[in-house]
Chain A
Amino acid sequence: MSSSGPENLMGAASSDDGFDYLFKIVLIGDCGTGKTCIVQKFRSGNFIQRHGFTIGVDFSMKTVLVDGKRVKLQIWDTAGQERFRTITQSYYRSANGVILVYDITKRSTFLSLQRWIDEIRRYTSSHVLLILVGNKCDLEEAREVKSSEAETVCEYLPEVFRNVETSAKENTNIDSIFFCLASELKRRHENRQINTDESGTVKLGNGRNLSTCSMCSYKLS
């Protein structure tokens, strides 16, 4: 445990493996753009073609190695709340990174980006790292959004750190976006460009991780 802050972010399970950094990543974007598939592909290497809405998936954890450091990513899925554009503000709270997904075969999902950006600006901290992802790039014949269009849009969105096309089905660039997030967040954290100082915040729990929390170390029951 090299840094003092990020461990405290999580009071939850998986105390089995240690890590050097922990970052919260949230996925957003219109319904049906493949957010859950992206996470699943990254987490377990599986592509699960499911129909309907995301049920029962809360967040996933995966640790990646960057420069010999274990960077743990806590990746949050929308739980289907994007369907009627009703994502809770608390979903965005303390997110370090955002993956904003559109579907290259469905133009409406690209046109929604501005509204998602507005929401990110409203609810996340100004230091959040944003990656724009055009998913389903294996379906070239059904393409409705040119990659050059996404590039043009990004010129007007200074907060977009990287713009990339992916395919969860063919595993194109999936791991890459998460490694990119992990290494950049680690770099920014080391340079203190992002504030992960959680000192004094309390995570409720069964007392499992609280002993590491500075404020609550003195008395645990």
Chain B
Amino acid sequence: MDDDLPTEYDVIVVGTGMTESIVAAAASRIGKRVLHLDSNEYYGGLWATFNFDGFQKWMEDLKISKHDSKDFKPDLENGETFLKASNQYSTVENIAEEWFISHEADLPLVLTKDTQTDGSNDTSSLTTEKTDEDKNDKKETKHWSVDRIKKEYRRFNIDLAPKLLYARGELVELLISSNIARYAEFRAVSRVATCMDGKLIQVPCSRADVFANKTVSVIEKRMLMKLLTSCMDQGADSPEFDGYHDKTFLEYLNTKNLTPIVNHYVMQAIAMSTDKTSCRDGVNRTKHFLNSLGRYGNTPFLWPMYGSGELPQCFCRLCAVFGGVYCLKRHLDGVVVSEDKCKAILTGKQRLSLEHLVVGQGHLPPEIVASTGENQISRGIFITDRSIMQGEKENLTLLYYPPEESDQEAVTVIELGPSTNACPQGLFMVHMTCKRTKTAQEDLAYVVKRFLCAKTLESNVSRTPTDSHTQTVATDQHQAQEGDKGANEGTIENPMPQVLWSLYLNLPASDIKLNESAPSNIHLCSGPDLDLDFDFAVNQAKEIFKAMYPSEDFLPRAPDPEEIILEGEEIPGPKFEGDNTSGENEKQDAEKAEKEE
């Protein structure tokens, strides 16, 4: 295939992360000539979502150093300097992968109720069915093995940077106003959980939930409603919060004479605050949370189907629909700078000229970087065999877990079930995210220990499969082991989820800044940040767009297909070459098609 790209653009975007993709779409939408490159063969960079196989490949590729040391001297004109692109700001560290289950061999088959009456010695027919995964799922439940997970790799969607959307957050509003929403599907987060006295409970979010909740007294309910209403109606600038501007949210709440349980709900679940969170931040988060309630579901949050990595691709699609040129597996060699302007990029022997360069942090020349950033991210990803909090139906759960000790960081936990396409039936995918202090594994250890059983599962231990979500308490060996701990804490009723596979990694900081020598037409896009939502990326994209095209509309609504009239097409259109029989053909074709059935 001809790999030569056209050589002149208004905007060249390097990297297909969230910010980059939004900017690319916005520029293309107003008619700019856009080229969008990515050195990877997939979209999203550090925002990507992979299936299980893709994830393994991603880790393999990280081991191979991408630093190509070939020092090539490009042809430059007078006064031009060449700055070589570097991937040092997208370094993923401390990857630790571990399996807690066996390979296929020696695993007994476990039959579900449906087939048990047939007799468990009828293994021959089961073996022959093995090839057909879908049938298998319905008829019998095998133990999950390494081989089985690898074989069903397509049914996993693993996020590098899992993020939720507030139902009235920046991204939802942007998706709707730009009409990009048609490219994506979501699921509502079905419950917000909080950990109280060592026990996970669901936080009542809606008015109905609050009043149906039995753990809160009527007086507490009134208290909670009153507080929430004042945050909602007035916001942080209200006189209500005068005198708390330099105080913490906790200090403000303490003046309200709330009961501990109400205080806990507001602090940890609704405002997702620690005792260091400022009053302003706390009130604003509470307001954001309440504003988004009731739009799409029981909680204020939405999760993108197939993972967060879908969303950058939706913007890329819009960019392409409006003429943006896409090229993956295309490496940025470096940028050509002259008189404080970036004039061109060099990629794969081509020199491509541009007005603006929008570049992800993974491709920046070190010469123009001021600081490497401080807020690095610790991530943990776990495939488990049951929910951290058994419910009557499959749930999509958000849990904010504040630090237990002063040297720990608050951890955000998102648990995804099969209906999000994150994993097959019978499994769950748990994502943990926090600010990095040590390694990801060390940072997250205290939360993992509390909610998950990350011990190697002996192959001879029969663990009750969980096809239903309302499973009765299983008495297996693992439970007995955990029993001591559970008894000590006196709280955990269900067996802890067994981890089948875990992965820890540290993502780079998202607060990298350019220095003053950076040409003004180079625009930096950060990688995934620590926030729960995408608002940081959306706002950064808006700022970049405004810097490039101050007087233009940012992603005006794209027309629906019905509104587009192509050149040469009129409605009702003249038939091709006076062909009046196409209606006839249609009918005949319809009949033909029916006969073929």
Contacts and interface: CB of A to CB of B under 8 A. Distances in A.
Interface string B307-321: 000100110110011
B586 A61 contact: no
A50 B568 CA distance: 10
A159 to B, nearest CB: 14
Interface string A101-132: 00000000000000000000010001000000
Nearest to A65: B590
Interface stretch (B121-129, B223-231, B289-297, B456-464): B289-297
Contacts of A152: none
Interface string A19-48: 000000000000000000000110011111
Nearest to B154: A122
Interface in A35-73: 40-41, 44-48, 50, 53, 55-61, 64-67
Nearest to A75: B561
Contacts of B188: 200, 202, 215-216
Given A45-B575, A176-B592, A83 B567 contact: no
DSSP class of A's interface residues: helix, strand, loop or mixed? loop
A95 to B, nearest CB: 13
Give the interface size class of chain B. Answer: 35 or more
B560 A202 contact: no
Task: Report, nearest first, the 6 A-B pairs whose CB atoms are least far apart.
Answer: A179-B593, A204-B181, A88-B313, A79-B320, A86-B326, A175-B589
A89 interface: yes
A59 B561 contact: yes
B106 interface: no
Interface string B71-104: 0000000000000000000000000000000000
A204 B172 contact: yes
Nearest to B133: A126
Contacts of A4: none
A219 B294 contact: yes
B182 interface: yes
Nearest to B320: A79
B201 interface: no
A48 B567 contact: yes
Contact of B186 (A48, A66, A173, A204): A204
Interface string A195-206: 000101111111
A90 B306 contact: yes
A64 B592 CA distance: 14
B576 A171 contact: yes
A79 B317 contact: yes
Contacts of A215: 188, 296-297
24 contacts: A14-B562, A48-B567, A48-B569, A55-B321, A56-B322, A58-B558, A66-B590, A66-B593, A83-B325, A84-B328, A86-B326, A88-B317, A89-B42, A90-B317, A122-B154, A171-B576, A171-B579, A176-B592, A179-B593, A184-B597, A202-B188, A203-B181, A203-B186, A215-B296
B504 interface: no
Interface of A: 10-14, 40-41, 44-48, 50, 53, 55-61, 64-67, 79-81, 83-86, 88-91, 93-94, 122, 126, 169, 171, 173, 175-176, 179-180, 182-184, 187, 198, 200-206, 210, 215-216, 219, 221
B219 interface: no
B105 interface: no
Nearest to B574: A46
Interface in B558-596: 558, 560-564, 566-569, 571, 573-576, 579, 582, 585-586, 589-590, 592-594, 596
Nearest to A77: B321
Given A56-B321, A58-B321, A14 B560 contact: yes
Contact of A46 (B316, B576, B596): B576
A171 B582 contact: yes
Contacts of A187: 597
